[in-house]
Amino acid sequence: MLIHTIEEVREQIKNWKKQGLSIGLVPTMGALHDGHLSLIKKSVEKCDKTVVSVFVNPIQFGPSEDFDKYPRTLEADEKLCSDAGVDIIFAPSPKEMYGEGHLLSNDFLTYVIPPFFYVNKLCGKSRVGHFDGVCTVVNKLFNIVQPDFAFFGEKDRQQLIILKKMVKDLNIPVTIIPCPIVREESGLALSSRNKYLDENSKKDALALNKILFNIKLCYDKGITDVRALSETAYSFLNSNHSLEYLEFRDKDTLEDKEKADDDTIVFIAVKVGGVRLIDNIALG
């Protein structure tokens, strides 16, 4: 069932709650692919009812980012959800979520702001304000849908860690379920932004997962020196790659690792043919 208004969702949720049914939420920006589908399947399996939100959230895009051209494929998304057994697709307009006047600055809108230590690194460093927008909209979706479980992909690992921190800090009565990255056969992590890649860039994009899997291989062989592990990356990079970061950080606190260990996540961001791609791998 496709729903566009908060009020209608609330009504449906109220009914389900009365019946004591468990509710799963899969927050997305649409342009659904097999990565999303894995989250949706997990929710359908685990929960009595599943809500998928499809909302390209304006407040998590910077002024120079791709809000306008971000792929919107609601019809296809709806079909994928129905086929997967989703109960509600919640696709509100920006006006429905943020009201008249689009007063989206923090001058006129209450924000949920994750801790500075969690956002001043990795993607947060180049995407200033991005995680403020993410936390705020996820908080709103949690309040609207009141799910028991919410499903997030490990592809956006910094986001996942920040949302888990938000849930803990604000005592939000939702359990976050992390879901593993889904990859093409080539190893490329699925992302809605892969649509921006042309044939050549798609080949160059493989460097991300090759670098990560190679680091994991070296770690498994006993190398823990972060500098040595980082240096293995360079053989995979060429002049088409612009490396934004390659970092080793703790899986919960995002603290810098001096020596790699089983709690380490390796994060990478690279621009390929004008498209910014991210990926990560857990060493443990």
In the three-class reduction of DSSP (H, G, I as helix; E, B as strand; rest coil), residue 261 is classed as: coil
In the three-class reduction of DSSP (H, G, I as helix; E, B as strand; rest coil), residue 125 is classed as: helix
Nearer to its own copies, 164 or 183 (CB): 164
Burial group, residue 238, by CB count within 10 angstroms (0-12, 13-18, 19+): exposed
Q: Which of 25, 135, 260, 270 binds its own copies (CB under 8 A)?
A: 135
Tokens of 277: 């791609």
List residues with catalytic annotation: 36
Shortest distance, position 64 Cβ to its own copies, whole Å: 23
Partner residues linked to 276 by β-bridges: 271
| Residue span 97-126 as binding mask against its own copies, x where in contact by CB under 8 A, dash where not | ---------xxxxxxxxxxxx---------
Distance CA(34)–CA(154), nearest Å, equals 14
Half-sphere exposure of 260 (CA within 13 A, CB side): 25
Distance CA(100)–CA(14), nearest Å, equals 26
Shortest distance, position 106 Cβ to its own copies, whole Å: 6
Nearer to its own copies, 11 or 225 (CB): 11
Window contacting its own copies (CB under 8 A); options: 60-68, 168-176, 238-246, 269-277 = 168-176
Q: Is 3 within 8 Å of 91 (Cβ atoms)? A: yes
Nearer to its own copies, 113 or 217 (CB): 113
247: enclosing H helix or E strand? strand 241-250
Shortest distance, position 41 Cβ to its own copies, whole Å: 27
Considering only residues 173 to 212 of the shown chain, the ones binding its own copies according to CB under 8 A are 173
Total residues binding its own copies (CB under 8 A): 30
85 binds its own copies (CB under 8 A): no
Distance CA(257)–CA(266), nearest Å, equals 10
51 binds its own copies (CB under 8 A): no
Window contacting its own copies (CB under 8 A); options: 48-56, 74-82, 134-142, 203-211 = 134-142
**Cβ atoms within 10 Å, residue 34:** 12
Nearer to its own copies, 35 or 114 (CB): 114
140 binds its own copies (CB under 8 A): yes
Nearer to its own copies, 31 or 150 (CB): 150
Considering only residues 228 to 267 of the shown chain, the ones binding its own copies according to CB under 8 A are none
Distance CA(23)–CA(148), nearest Å, equals 5
Distance CA(251)–CA(139), nearest Å, equals 22
Half-sphere exposure of 204 (CA within 13 A, CB side): 21
Q: Compute the chain's Rg from CA coordinates.
A: 19
Q: Which of 50, 57, 146, 280 binds its own copies (CB under 8 A)?
A: 146
Nearer to its own copies, 144 or 226 (CB): 144
Shortest distance, position 55 Cβ to its own copies, whole Å: 13
**Residues of the shown chain interacting with its own copies in the complex, contacts defined by CB under 8 A:** 6, 10, 18, 20, 106-117, 135-136, 139-140, 143-144, 146, 165-166, 169-173
